[in-house]
């Protein structure tokens, strides 16, 4: 489990497509404190660490199934891509965002961006089958970042990015046309399911 509070910006150092996709990700995490088999959210996708190293900088490798690649924006990763990272929760950690599983539901498209005070307003279009889980003032995870939904109009919704969020994540370079990993709030999913059975 994760919180959607990004704690590092990683860099894709290498990609190897043989069967599954294997990615080497440069990190500022101390890899001496990461175990093989640990879970790390990479752009919001829960991935398992399969190798570690320190040269020329600290890095970890993850193996990514074709299914995961097809359902996320990982298909667009290139060497040099920057990605949001978060280590898995430990008992006693502060829950600063919201409960995030790292199981991406789909990919949303950035429709538009505009300055709004010191913040950046970003509009997205969600897949139609996920739109019903997105509510104003609800939580959503986009590229692994816990964010609050401002408004919803059908499958289109908007969020605001404050300067701090843009400074510590990969949201500093968001642009119309970008594809982002979307995970709906688990609570919204269960409420919708209960209403179906009601």
CB atoms within 10 A of CB 176: 11
Residue 193 has what pLDDT? 66
Token pair listed for 190: 């269960």
Residue 198 has what pLDDT? 61
The residues pairing with 112 across neighbouring beta strands, listed in sequence order, are 123
Domains of the chain plus CATH, in order, are 8-87 (2.40.30.20), 106-197 (2.40.30.20)
Q: Looking at 46-60, 84-98, 128-142, which range is the least confident one?
A: 84-98
Tell me what the mean pLDDT of segment 130-157 comes to. 96
Tell me what the mean pLDDT of segment 67-74 comes to. 96
Res 64 pLDDT > 80: yes
On whether the CB atoms of residues 83 and 9 are closer than 8 A, the answer is yes
3-state secondary structure of 124: strand
- Percent of the chain topping pLDDT 90: 84
- Percent of the chain topping pLDDT 70: 96
């Amino acid at each position: 489990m994760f919180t959607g509070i990004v704690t590092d910006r990683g860099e894709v150092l290498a990609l190897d497509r043989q069967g599954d996709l294997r990615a080497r990700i440069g990190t500022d995490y101390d890899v001496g404190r990461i175990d093989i088999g640990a879970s790390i959210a990479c752009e919001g996708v829960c991935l398992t660490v399969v190798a570690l190293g320190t040269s020329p900088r600290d890095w970890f490798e993850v193996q990514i199934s074709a299914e995961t690649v097809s359902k996320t924006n990982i298909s667009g990763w290139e060497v040099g891509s920057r990605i949001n990272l978060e280590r898995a929760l430990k008992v006693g950690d502060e829950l600063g965002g919201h409960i995030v599983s790292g199981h991406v539901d789909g990919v949303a498209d950035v429709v538009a961006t505009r300055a709004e005070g010191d913040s950046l307003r970003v509009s997205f279009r969600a897949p139609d089958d996920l739109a019903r889980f997105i509510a104003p003032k609800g939580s959503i995870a986009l590229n692994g970042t816990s964010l609050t939904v401002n408004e919803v109009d059908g499958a289109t919704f908007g969020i605001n990015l404050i300067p701090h969020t843009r400074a510590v994540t990969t949201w500093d370079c968001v642009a119309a046309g970008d594809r982002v990993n979307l995970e709906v709030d688990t609570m919204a999913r269960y409420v919708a399911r209960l209403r179906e059975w009601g």
